[in-house]
A and B are shown apart, each in its own frame.
Chain A
Amino acid sequence: METARHKKLSENILDKLSLDFLRNQVLKNAYGNDDTVIARLDPRILLAWYLVLGIVPWFVQDLWFLMGCFLLVLVTTKLARVAGLVLLLFGVGVFSQTGYLFVVSLFFGGDSSTIAPLLVLTLKVATCSLASITVFSGLDPDRLSNGLMWYGCPERLSFSISYAYRILPMLMEEFQNILLSFRMRGNPPLHETFRGKIRYLFYQVKMIMQAFYPLMLNTAKRSRTTVEALEIKGYRYAAVNKTVKKIKLATLRVTYNDLLFLAVSFLWISLSILASTLF
């Protein structure tokens, strides 16, 4: 009975972590929230906003200011309706990192006074990552790559972003198919005992590694097709041509909403500066 329940629990977790789930979460993160307030803002404005909130907190030690920034990005993350998995990863990442550092510093004779600087560090890390979550998952990939291109990022980067979002679902499906076919033909070791479980884990890892062999060959074929298709369209010349760039970026437009967003953020930050000067 006990083992049965145990098995059920682990199966449940594995269910949650299946490739399908991951794929859905990633796609939802990319395309699932076109209708939020954040997604409708101009990408250039959002990137500029991110540059301020992603860099300035690193250089400021004032707790009021940092708290203000943190609350601001918390609200924008909520507005952007980011997928749950991403937020979970963020939480685990931030707190495991600084928590681990704290525990180790206890071994070296630190005490509770170590908490305060670590709290500041956590606040900084959290603010910067939430700001980037807002911008990079809140925005549509195409708008994001247009915004980056406007700031003069290399064309290859914006191409990579657009390409990545289109190719990823296909690649994941293919990888899953290969894994399934391995599983159909394979003979996994028994995993009732502890040793068996370890052997099973190694078997799984080995299978994933081996699955990359057919995947590499398939992707090589596909990337040749992609590049040839791009060449037919004259991609390499278009990438450096100014007129093409201008046509591509013609859809970007700054509206009053964008300015309003900036002004409200500015108001909040200046309020937190005011608080830090008063107290």
Chain B
Amino acid sequence: MEPAKKQTATQSQKLMVFVLTMALYGLATLFTELIPKFQVGIVEFSVEYFLFIPLTLSMLFDPLSAALGAATGELVFSEIMLGQFGGLGELEKFITVTIGVYMAGRMVKNPQNTKMVGVAAITGTGLQLLMGTVVDILKVQLAVEDFEAVAGLPESVFATEGFAFLNDLLFSGILFCLLPTLFLVPKLYGKIEPLLGMRPRDKKTGLGSINGKVILGSLVAFAVAIGAEMLAENGTALIEWEAEWAESGTALAIGMVAAAVVAIIALIAMKSSAGKGNAERS
């Protein structure tokens, strides 16, 4: 028995888990992106998350590969493929999904212990939703100038975000994360692992429960997500300063227009002289 060797899957097995989670979760998020949400009153019935897929896989396989695969799958399938890539916001989503799924995966030592699976599933979902809510509130505060001054806006943002959090946790969390995970984990346990050439997770092959290191790592990652927002705040000052500088002269703007026109004329001239096709790298 070499526990150190048994604990970690080989590199190619990790890649398999990554590809598996990415493909499945990507497919699921594509559906959620395409299926319209419907609202009954103010309660939103959205199939917000098929988060049960990465949750299940992270409890059965290497949690980190599954978590990264899920986040990448969501990014690639539902954001990039549909052209809804949102820049900075995606980083935050990527990190929160990774943390939520990874935590849930690390919490489960024995996938046959249904109680623990349930607790882990709802904790992972709640964690992801909570982090998303915090970042969302920060985002609106950043985007709207004089946030406090607009009548009714701060309260409404807190209310909508808080309500959305509870709604998602109670509706999507239980219906689409907790129940399917409870159904799938015991059913897949021992069946899906041999397909990837691995041994089912038990006391020997498990990674051990959450320790301080994991929590610290997650906190650092979440700090990075918040840090991106703070960076944006600093960037605001920087670019606004530049804008002021630009405002100081209409002449400067005219200069920019003139430069652009000259560049366009020069490029057209160069293009026609160079002829079609194999243009030189400039």
Let me know if A136 and B19 touch, CB within 8 A: no
Q: In the complex, which residues 54-87 of chain A have their Cβ closer than 8 Å to any Cβ of chain B?
A: 54-56, 58-62, 82, 85-86
B191 neighbours in A (Cβ, 8 Å): 217
Interface size on A, residues (CB 8 A): 98
Let me know if B192 and A224 touch, CB within 8 A: no
Let me know if B87 and A54 touch, CB within 8 A: yes
**Nearest Cβ on chain B to A257's Cβ, whole angstroms:** 8
Let me know if B282 and A220 touch, CB within 8 A: no
Question: How far is A268 from B89 in the complex, measured between Cα atoms in Å?
Answer: 27
Question: How far is A266 from B262 in the complex, measured between Cα atoms in Å?
Answer: 12
User: Is A9 at the interface (CB under 8 A from chain B)?
Assistant: no
A165 neighbours in B (Cβ, 8 Å): 81
Let me know if B84 and A110 touch, CB within 8 A: no
Can you name 8 A-B pairs with beta carbons within 8 Å? A132-B86, A160-B73, A220-B192, A227-B12, A230-B15, A231-B12, A263-B267, A264-B260
Chain A interface main SS type = helix
B-facing mask of A136-179, CB < 8 A → 1, else 0?
Answer: 11100100100000000000110011011101100110010000
Q: How large is the interface on B (under 10, 10 to 19, 20 to 34, 35 or more residues)?
A: 35 or more
Taking a contact as CB atoms closer than 8 A, the residue among B12, B144, B187, B261 that contacts A267 in the complex is B261
B87 neighbours in A (Cβ, 8 Å): 54-55, 128, 132
Let me know if B196 and A220 touch, CB within 8 A: yes
User: Is A37 at the interface (CB under 8 A from chain B)?
Assistant: no
- What residue of chain A has the Cβ atom nearest to residue B277's Cβ? A255
**Nearest Cβ on chain B to A169's Cβ, whole angstroms:** 11
Question: How far is A110 from B256 in the complex, measured between Cα atoms in Å?
Answer: 41
Question: How far is A105 from B35 in the complex, measured between Cα atoms in Å?
Answer: 27
Taking a contact as CB atoms closer than 8 A, the residue among B151, B153, B159, B256 that contacts A270 in the complex is B256
Q: Indicate whether A29 sits within 8 Å of B83 (C-beta atoms), given known contacts A175-B27, A264-B264.
A: yes
Chain B interface main SS type = helix
Which of the 9-residue segments B124-132, B206-214, B234-242 touches chain A?
Answer: B234-242
Question: How far is A88 from B30 in the complex, measured between Cα atoms in Å?
Answer: 15
User: Is A22 at the interface (CB under 8 A from chain B)?
Assistant: yes
Let me know if A133 and B84 touch, CB within 8 A: yes
Q: Which residues in B have some Cβ–Cβ distance to A below 8 Å?
A: 11-12, 15-16, 18-20, 22-24, 26-28, 30-31, 33-36, 47, 50, 52-53, 56-57, 72-73, 75-77, 79-88, 140, 142-146, 150-153, 155-157, 159-160, 175-176, 179-180, 183-184, 187-188, 191-192, 195-197, 232, 235-236, 239-240, 243, 246-247, 249-250, 253-254, 256-257, 259-261, 263-264, 267-268, 270-271, 274, 279, 281-282
User: Is A186 at the interface (CB under 8 A from chain B)?
Assistant: no
Let me know if A137 and B82 touch, CB within 8 A: yes
B179 neighbours in A (Cβ, 8 Å): 209
A1 neighbours in B (Cβ, 8 Å): none
Let me know if B24 and A277 touch, CB within 8 A: no
A210 neighbours in B (Cβ, 8 Å): 183
Let me know if A223 and B83 touch, CB within 8 A: no
Let me know if A267 and B19 touch, CB within 8 A: no
User: Is A226 at the interface (CB under 8 A from chain B)?
Assistant: yes
Question: How far is A53 from B239 in the complex, measured between Cα atoms in Å?
Answer: 14
Let me know if A224 and B27 touch, CB within 8 A: no
Q: Indicate whether A267 sits within 8 Å of B80 (C-beta atoms), given known contacts A117-B153, A217-B195, A259-B282.
A: no
B-facing mask of A249-262, CB < 8 A → 1, else 0?
Answer: 00001111101100
- What residue of chain A has the Cβ atom nearest to residue B24's Cβ? A219
Let me know if A61 and B80 touch, CB within 8 A: no
Let me know if A213 and B188 touch, CB within 8 A: yes
Question: How far is A82 from B83 in the complex, measured between Cα atoms in Å?
Answer: 9
A108 neighbours in B (Cβ, 8 Å): 151-153, 155-156, 159
Let me know if B23 and A255 touch, CB within 8 A: no
Q: Indicate whether A90 sits within 8 Å of B53 (C-beta atoms), given known contacts A167-B23, A213-B187.
A: no
**Nearest Cβ on chain A to B254's Cβ, whole angstroms:** 6
B196 neighbours in A (Cβ, 8 Å): 220, 223-224
**Nearest Cβ on chain A to B9's Cβ, whole angstroms:** 12
Let me know if B264 and A117 touch, CB within 8 A: no
Let me know if A110 and B76 touch, CB within 8 A: no
Let me know if B270 and A60 touch, CB within 8 A: no
Let me know if A223 and B155 touch, CB within 8 A: no
Taking a contact as CB atoms closer than 8 A, the residue among A58, A113, A267, A271 that contacts B143 in the complex is A58
